[in-house]
Amino acid sequence: MKKNKKIKAFLLKLLTNKRKILFDIKKSKNVLVLKYDRIGDMVVTTPIFRELKKAYPSISISVLASKENKDVIKNNPYIDKIYTNYKNSIFNDLPTLLKLRKKSFDVCIELEHSVIPHAIFRLKIINPKKIITIHKDGRYGVKGSELELYDYFTEKDKKSHFGKIWLDTLIFFGITPSSNKYDFFLSNIERDKAESFVLSMGNKIKIGINIEGSFPEKSIQKKELDQICRGLYSHCSNIKIVILASSNQIIKKQKMISELGLDYVIPSYTTETIIDAAAIVEQLDLIITPDTSIVHIASSFDKPVVSIHENNKDSFRLWSPSSTLSKTIFATSRYGLVDYSVNDIVKSAVEIIKTIESDI
């Protein structure tokens, strides 16, 4: 086993070996950010694009995104070019990676917190002059700092949110960020559709509930949804509850809402993309959701949020809501939403509703 680990450590060092290039990154003309994972991760990454562009207006910013998260930045004015990456198939990605290699990027920013082979392979092919990454503990007994592929590492941070941890990569450009606020830009088409949808609800408090988590175990179940809706209405009858529904969920959600039989609970219109969902979130007064991308989308619009999180304080530190008004209810389990207090959700939501009503 030890011999096998030594071989892997040797191969890792060999793979990450590179010739050093003398280059001042503050003179960079083009930068590529690698963020090809989940939707919420991309939302939390968005301050990097804004703060980098504001500090260096003439710099060109490209992003290697995933098929799932690229719509988050589709309308982002700080990004010049978006490329799509298919994480599980480097061979399918090869034409794109070779195209990126020809761009001769001055800097790549890679935001993986672990030593990830697929990220290393991609960076080797892209071959930028300099690579910035966040602190990595290492792998196979090899410290992150020993990986020559990376030119700059941020300091280890066990106290901060991922938003700050990732934003710290701009330190090497000499940038002190003016804000860590997330960005989510909508077109008039999505915004007009969402505005029209909520217009018929009049002056009611509009509460959006997202029942889907990143995994089935992290979703709100029908029984709990019924209790949440009834609990909210018993405290405040001047509400309309909108159940968010994407195209592959709409029939299921319509059936569930019909079975609830509550005239103050309706489905959203079918959201074909995450931009559609974001446009609805922007128009609502309060969002209730498991810990998933909707938390961060709501935070990008500074919408009040009641989130439900598994009992994992480290995970919560890294992914907590950043909205001015937010409350989090923790389940008893470290994985999944098992045995959480519906009463606490209702109580927290009612407290926020009272704040909203006092501001109207």
pLDDT tens per residue across all 360 residues of the chain: 566 767 777 777 777 777 788 899 999 999 999 999 999 999 999 999 999 999 999 999 999 999 999 999 999 999 999 999 987 777 789 999 999 999 999 999 999 999 888 899 999 999 999 999 999 987 777 888 888 899 999 999 999 999 999 999 999 999 999 999 999 999 999 999 999 999 989 999 999 999 998 888 889 999 999 999 999 999 999 999 999 998 888 888 999 999 999 999 999 999 999 999 999 999 999 999 999 999 999 999 999 999 999 999 999 999 999 999 999 999 999 888 989 999 999 999 999 999 987 765
Intervals of CATH 3.40.50.2000 along the chain: 12-173, 188-359
Give Cα 165 distance to the centre of its chain.
Answer: 14
Residue 275 is predicted with a pLDDT of 97
Report whether 309 contacts 329 (CB < 8 A).
Answer: yes
DSSP 278-329: HHHHHH-SEEEEESSHHHHHHHHTT--EEEEE-S-HHHHHHH---SSSEEEE
Distances (CA, A) of 114 to 17, 22, 343: 17, 26, 38
Residue 141 is predicted with a pLDDT of 79
Give Cα 103 distance to the centre of its chain.
Answer: 27
* Cβ-based neighbour number of residue 145 at 10 Å: 12
Residue 3 is predicted with a pLDDT of 60
Q: Look up residue 238 and give its two tokens.
A: 């001047």
Contacts of 216 (CB under 8 A, 6+ apart): none
Give the homologous superfamily in CATH for domain 12-173: Glycogen Phosphorylase B; (3.40.50.2000)
Residue 284 is predicted with a pLDDT of 98
The CATH code for residues 188-359 is 3.40.50.2000
Helix residue spans in 32-150 (DSSP H): 39-55, 90-102, 117-126
pTM (predicted TM-score) = 0.94
